[in-house]
């Protein structure tokens, strides 16, 4: 995986572990801005089934900072993902 | 099967006995060294010792010793003149001369106790470095025995100890590495009824396990008992590392570090959890994560794990550190999640985590995870994380045993009654390509399950062309109707799901073509038909 700079008007989404296996990608660019709470819906639209199978248990970070998207009243639901941001989908890895 | 032969069991038993004797011998050597060391000191009159101390040791070092000794409440050691054994200065010399460790750090390591839960790819390197660094007591929890497929990454085990319990095998290795430590083996899987009792006698816990249920159980127990937790995991080429519940404040105290539930409140769906056995793991990837766990543990211990409350009062202690020319202890680091992705650039990413979640089920003021709930069994971790029941997706008539399938390949077809011919049927192997390339049955066609499962089934009425049917589906449609299709995989689960999908896609030609799976997959093939087929 490389860390491509996102093109103008877009943000970069990084997929780790199960998210990477599901999408068969390690990163992808999306048009900004996107409300953080709408991110999962955007991905479910592009990758049907991803919501239940992967995203429901994932941590999400924006520019290397954890954001809280747990539940309908999530603390960071209204946060706007801007152009140039690096967002990561981090599923829990439990094996070892 | 092979293991039940008398000769095999004799070999196993002898290996076990040899290892036990080796461990015993090591222990005796250690006791002897200890006794000799004591005898040496007994021959020197105490007066000359204290004279040496006054005359030969610089005052500031003496002050430092006294400070360290009184701080650890071990004044009786003063009679021995040196706070560490002679051999310990030598053994730990390379880390002792570092300001991050120093004498005080080494004494803290020596009096500390660490519990390593899981003695596999993470636990082996973690325990090895902790034992090497001089951690006084290391507990090892694991219910498994050593298997040959563990050895590429589980570095405390060895070829000669295959079949031995992992905790026994690790104890032998650790004792050889550093006989000064005390190693305690708990040879069963961690459960909610045993967790609190085991954790109680340790200062710090390392989560080196391999499943979500254990991760939540360990985190909850650490919060309840106020123990810091170093948690790591690894799969394929990636790893994760977190220091949790550090500082280990009581539930509801926002100054405490977040717990596992704060970061991952919901477990992944059970059917999506991939083990190292199924997904694969690169030895150095999991090794790196285990080594990093040991590093975090050493940082926490040398900073002063026994008195986590003192961390906030560094300023009060400052003058003493200055007089001793010792660096002030490093303040605890803010919580972070370290991601390691071996094939990415950059390979490491450190994520800043938040403090405790205000609604956390375990460490917040609203916690529902209590000691009572844990010990009474009302917190069902297995239920919480979901159970994957064996796949029973097909009816009896849609399945064939490996014995019968073998006859189709070499004798008379039990379904059609025709003599075996290589082109009498189609065999589809749905393992991923890399596994298919390792070994496969002659004449089989590889269509990976990942490709099959993501293929969408379109609503009737849409012609295949309009919606762009996948190539493999088109190819299979083109096969003659009279030839049955057999689907095989590694263990016999994916093959059933693949058959279901193929029927949904209409590949059974409305029932005119038999499509079914080979029960038990290539494992059954090896067990009952061809023992030479490779096991991996």
Residue B46 has pLDDT above 70, yes or no: no
Sign for the pseudo-dihedral over CA of B98, B101, B107, B110: negative
Residue B443 confidence (pLDDT): 92
Residue pair A16/A92 in contact by the 8 Å Cβ criterion: no
| ipTM for this model | 0.94
Residue B229 confidence (pLDDT): 98
Nearest to A54 by CA among B185, B269, B473: B269
A92 at interface of B, judged by CB pairs closer than 8 A? yes
B203 annotated as belonging to a binding site for a ligand = no
Helices vs. strands in chain B: H and E counts, helices first: 23, 13
Average pLDDT rounded to a whole number, residues B37-65:
51
Residue B198 has pLDDT above 50, yes or no: yes
Tell me the nearest-neighbour CA distance from B535 into chain A, angstroms: 21
Residue B522 confidence (pLDDT): 97
Q: Walk across the sheet containing B426-429 and list its strands.
A: B399-400, B515-518, B485-488, B426-429, B445-446
Q: Higher pLDDT residue, B46 or A47? A: A47
B211 annotated as belonging to a binding site for a ligand = yes
Contact A95 B276 (CB under 8 A): yes
Residue B464 has pLDDT above 90, yes or no: no
Contact B354 A66 (CB under 8 A): yes
Contact A3 B344 (CB under 8 A): yes
Residue B29 confidence (pLDDT): 74
The closest CB to that of A94, out of B120, B212, B344, belongs to: B212
Phi/psi of residue B426, nearest 5 degrees? -115, 130
Average pLDDT rounded to a whole number, residues B18-39:
74
**pTM flag (> 0.90):** no
Residue B459 has pLDDT above 70, yes or no: no
The closest CB to that of B345, out of A2, A54, A57, belongs to: A2
The closest CB to that of B344, out of A1, A56, A91, belongs to: A1
What b-and-e string marks burial along B160-195, b requiring 16 or more CB atoms within 10 Å of the CB? bbbbbbbbbbbbbbbbeebbbbebbbbbeebebeeb
Residues 6+ apart with CB under 8 A from B185: B139, B140, B165, B167, B168, B170, B171
Average pLDDT rounded to a whole number, residues B407-415:
75
Tell me the Ramachandran region of residue B506: left when phi exceeds 0, alpha when psi lies from -120 to 50, beta otherwise: left
For residue B209, which residues of chain A lie inside 8 Å, CB to CB? 94, 96
B268 at interface of A, judged by CB pairs closer than 8 A? yes
> What's the pLDDT band for B42 if we cut at 50, 70, 90?
low
- The residues spanned by each domain of chain A are 10-90
Contact A2 B344 (CB under 8 A): yes
The answer for B 83-122 residues in CB contact with A (under 8 A) is 118, 120-122
Give the mean pLDDT of chain B: 86
Residue B247 confidence (pLDDT): 94
Residue B412 has pLDDT above 70, yes or no: no
Contact B215 A92 (CB under 8 A): yes
Rounded-to-integer distance, Cα B48 and Cα B54, Å? 10
B363 annotated as belonging to a binding site for a ligand = yes
> What's the pLDDT band for B324 if we cut at 50, 70, 90?
very low
Residue B322 has pLDDT above 90, yes or no: no
B328 at interface of A, judged by CB pairs closer than 8 A? no
A16 at interface of B, judged by CB pairs closer than 8 A? yes
Decide if domain A10-90 falls under CATH 3.10.20.30. yes
Contact A52 B269 (CB under 8 A): yes
- Chain A residue with CA closest to B214: the answer is A94
Residue B307 has pLDDT above 80, yes or no: no
Residue B65 confidence (pLDDT): 56
- DSSP state letter for B260: H
Residue B315 confidence (pLDDT): 40
Residue A35 confidence (pLDDT): 97
Residue B2 confidence (pLDDT): 46
A90 at interface of B, judged by CB pairs closer than 8 A? yes
- Chain A residue with CA closest to B356: the answer is A68
Residue B37 confidence (pLDDT): 65
For residue B264, which residues of chain A lie inside 8 Å, CB to CB? 57, 59, 92
B360 annotated as belonging to a binding site for a ligand = yes
> What's the pLDDT band for A71 if we cut at 50, 70, 90?
confident
- Please confirm, yes or no, whether B208 is among the known catalytic residues: no
Tell me the nearest-neighbour CA distance from A49 into chain B, angstroms: 9
Q: Which H/E stretch holds residue B297?
A: helix B283-304
Residue B375 confidence (pLDDT): 87
- Chain B residue with CA closest to A27: the answer is B344
Rounded-to-integer distance, Cα A56 and Cα A73, Å? 15
The structure tokens listed for B415 are: 């379904």
Weakest-pLDDT range from B64-78, B175-189, B305-319, B454-468: B305-319
Q: Which residue in B124, B222, B276, B385 is the catalytic one?
A: B276
Say what percent of chain B tops pLDDT 90: 67
Max CA separation in chain B (angstroms): 102
Rounded-to-integer distance, Cα B515 and Cα B426, Å? 10
Residue B73 confidence (pLDDT): 54
Residue A94 has pLDDT above 50, yes or no: yes
> What's the pLDDT band for B321 if we cut at 50, 70, 90?
very low
The answer for B 219-248 residues in CB contact with A (under 8 A) is 232-236, 238-240
Average pLDDT rounded to a whole number, residues B294-312:
76
Residue B49 has pLDDT above 50, yes or no: no
Rounded-to-integer distance, Cα B481 and Cα B476, Å? 10
Rounded-to-integer distance, Cα B199 and Cα B123, Å? 16
Residue A54 confidence (pLDDT): 95
- Chain A residue with CA closest to B279: the answer is A95
- 3-class DSSP state for residue B366? coil
Sign for the pseudo-dihedral over CA of A82, A84, A89, A93: negative
**pLDDT tens digits, B350-360:** 999 999 999 99
- Chain A residue with CA closest to B232: the answer is A96
Nearest to B23 by CA among B161, B202, B153, B201: B161
Say what percent of chain B tops pLDDT 70: 82
B307 at interface of A, judged by CB pairs closer than 8 A? no
């Amino acid at each position: 995986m490389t860390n491509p700079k996102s093109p103008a008007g877009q943000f970069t989404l990084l997929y780790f572990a199960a998210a990477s296996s599901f999408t068969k990608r390690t990163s992808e660019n999306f048009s900004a801005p996107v409300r953080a709470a709408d991110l999962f819906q955007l991905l479910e639209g592009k990758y049907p089934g991803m919501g239940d199978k992967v995203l429901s248990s994932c941590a999400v970070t924006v520019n290397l900072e954890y954001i809280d998207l747990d539940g309908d009243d999530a603390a960071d639901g209204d946060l706007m993902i801007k152009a140039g941001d690096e967002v990561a989908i981090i599923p829990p890895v439990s094996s070892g | 099967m092979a293991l039940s032969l008398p000769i095999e069991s004799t070999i196993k038993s002898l290996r076990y006995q040899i290892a036990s004797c080796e461990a015993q011998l090591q222990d005796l050597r250690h006791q002897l060294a200890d006794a000799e060391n004591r005898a040496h000191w007994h021959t020197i009159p105490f007066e000359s010792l204290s004279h040496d101390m006054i005359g030969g040791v610089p005052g500031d070092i003496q002050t430092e010793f006294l400070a360290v000794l009184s701080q650890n409440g071990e004044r009786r050691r003063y009679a021995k003149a040196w706070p560490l054994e002679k051999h310990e200065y030598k053994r730990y010399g390379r880390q002792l001369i570092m300001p991050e460790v120093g004498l005080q750090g080494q004494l803290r390591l020596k009096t500390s106790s660490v519990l390593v839960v899981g003695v596999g790819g993470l636990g082996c390197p973690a325990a090895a470095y902790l034992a090497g660094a001089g951690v006084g007591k290391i507990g090892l929890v694991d219910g498994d025995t050593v298997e040959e497929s563990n050895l590429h990454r589980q570095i405390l085990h060895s070829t000669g100890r295959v079949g031995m319990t992992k905790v026994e095998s690790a104890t032998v290795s650790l004792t050889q590495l550093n006989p000064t430590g005390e190693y305690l083996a708990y040879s069963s899987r961690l459960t909610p009824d045993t967790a609190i009792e085991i954790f109680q006698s340790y200062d710090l816990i390392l989560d080196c396990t391999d499943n979500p249920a254990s991760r939540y159980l360990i985190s909850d127990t650490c919060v309840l008992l106020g123990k810091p937790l170093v948690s790591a995991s690894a799969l394929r080429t990636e790893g994760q590392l977190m220091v949790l519940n550090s500082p280990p404040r009581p539930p509801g105290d926002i100054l405490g570090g977040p717990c596992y539930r704060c970061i991952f409140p919901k477990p992944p769906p059970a059917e999506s959890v991939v083990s190292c056995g199924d997904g694969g793991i690169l030895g150095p990837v999991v090794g790196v994560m285990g080594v990093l766990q040991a590093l975090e543990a050493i940082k926490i211990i040398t900073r002063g794990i026994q008195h986590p409350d003192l961390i906030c009062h560094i300023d009060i202690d400052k003058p003493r550190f200055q007089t001793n020319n010792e660096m002030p202890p490093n303040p605890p680091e803010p919580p972070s999640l370290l991601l390691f992705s071996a094939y990415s650039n950059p390979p490491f990413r450190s994520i800043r985590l938040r403090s405790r979640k205000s609604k956390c089920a375990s460490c917040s003021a609203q916690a529902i995870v209590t000691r009572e709930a844990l010990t009474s069994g009302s917190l069902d971790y297995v239920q919480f994380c979901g159970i994957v029941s064996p796949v029973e997706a097909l009816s009896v008539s849609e399945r064939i045993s490996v014995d019968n399938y073998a006859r189709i390949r070499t004798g008379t077809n039990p379904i059609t009654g025709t003599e075996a011919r290589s082109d009498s049927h189609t065999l589809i192997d749905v393992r991923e390509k890399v596994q298919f390339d390792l070994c496969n049955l002659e004449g089989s066609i590889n269509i990976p399950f990942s490709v099959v499962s993501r293929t969408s089934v379109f609503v009737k009425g849409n012609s295949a062309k309009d919606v762009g049917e996948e190539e493999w589906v088109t190819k299979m449609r083109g096969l003659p109707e009279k030839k049955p299709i057999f689907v095989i995989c590694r263990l016999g689960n994916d093959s059933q799901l693949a058959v279901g999908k193929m029927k949904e896609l209409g590949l059974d030609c409305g029932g005119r073509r038999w499509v079914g799976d080979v029960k038990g997959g290539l494992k059954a093939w090896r067990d009952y038909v061809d023992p030479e087929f490779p096991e991996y």
